[in-house]
Amino acid sequence: MARSSLDATAGELLAGAAIITLGCATAAYIPVLGFACFFLLPLPAMFYHVRHGGHAAFIVSALPLLILSLLSWGIHTDTLLMAGMLGYGLLLGNYVKHNAAIEKTIAYPALMILAGAFFIIVLAGNLSGAGPFGLVSDHIQQNLELTVALYKQVEASEETIRMLEASIDRIHYALLAIFPAITAAALLISGWINLLLGRITLKAAGFHLPALGRLNVWQAPDSLVWGVIACSLFLLLPFQAPRIIALNILIVVLMVYLFQGFAIISFYFDKKEVPVFIRALIYGAVAIQQFLLLFVIGLGFFDTWLNLRRINAGGNEPSSS
């Protein structure tokens, strides 16, 4: 009996390694679909950490990276990025397994990955001679050039391509200025999405996780409002460095309110029993429409005062009203 259980576990781990290998290969070689797979890489690592423990999840995550490194004859930037996402999944799994608060589950692993990325960028930049700033700048420039090439490959209009090429320097400057915020926001979004999907898969596997029970009643700390106000005031200063720092912080804080806005929408979807198809359409519209995205952020921000879900001050459950 123990032998068959062990064989079943080994089979599950091999299946997990195969899934992660496929996801990594898709992320590395298929442009559009690979982008989605890259953001979902933490999901299998988190799942196997909760289901089989940290050691098994580490082996399942490390084996695909080793295979890709051998096939590509070395460790490249894409390999490091995928390693970071898988590491993020392992950290998420650790906090989920211990039923930590949702804020800690997402924020603490993100901070650890960001700290590791900062160390690697500084080390690689100094070793290459370009410096950390130059290394990031070159990476952004290469990705912008690949974007232009992709537009040409899909036969976009000549006007669109000319506008993109004419604006590439300004886009490069803007992306370089808010690179820390973009990285942090991407990690937070990935963590939130993977937790939502992980809750479904882990529940199907028979795991009861109270900390992930009702994410749609989650709300940001009230004191975070002062962060928005302070950063907005710093943006009015005539000095460039404080404005860039304030802008990076503001982007991350607004991302938190975006999550709260989605929680409000999800709360009323559940209350009104909105069909999944309609929910998917609305979420998709929010993802591609900037105006709707700002509206969701506004919902989360003003919920601090309006209490749109009628959540009690001392708990997470809505009041009877």
Under a CB-based contact definition with an 8 Å cutoff, are residues 158 and 77 in contact?
no
Q: How confident is the model at residue 35 (pLDDT cuts 50, 70, 90)?
A: confident
Residue 112 pLDDT > 80? yes
b/e code 91-103 from CB counts within 10 Å (16+ = b): bbbbbbbeeeebe
Q: pTM to 2 decimals? A: 0.86
Neighbours of 212 (CB within 10 A): 19
- Residues 154, 27, 287, 263, Cα dihedral to 10°: 170
Q: What is the distance between the alpha carbons of residues 160 and 31, in angstroms, rounded to a whole number?
A: 19
Q: What tens digit of pLDDT does each residue of 197-240 get?
A: 998 898 888 888 877 777 888 888 889 999 999 999 999 988 89
298: buried, middle or exposed (CB in 10 Å: 19+, 13-18, 0-12)? middle
Instruction: Kindly report which listed range (4-8, 123-127, 234-238, 309-313) carries the lowest average pLDDT score.
Output: 4-8
- What structural domains does the chain harbor? 1-129+178-208 (1.10.1760.20), 214-321 (no CATH)
Residue 117 in this model has a pLDDT that exceeds 50: yes
Q: By mean pLDDT, which of 70-79, 120-129, 210-219, 294-303 is the weakest?
A: 70-79
- Residue 317 has a pLDDT of 55
The overall average pLDDT reported for the chain is 86
| Segments in 154-289 forming alpha helices (H) | 158-177, 179-204, 224-234, 240-272, 276-288
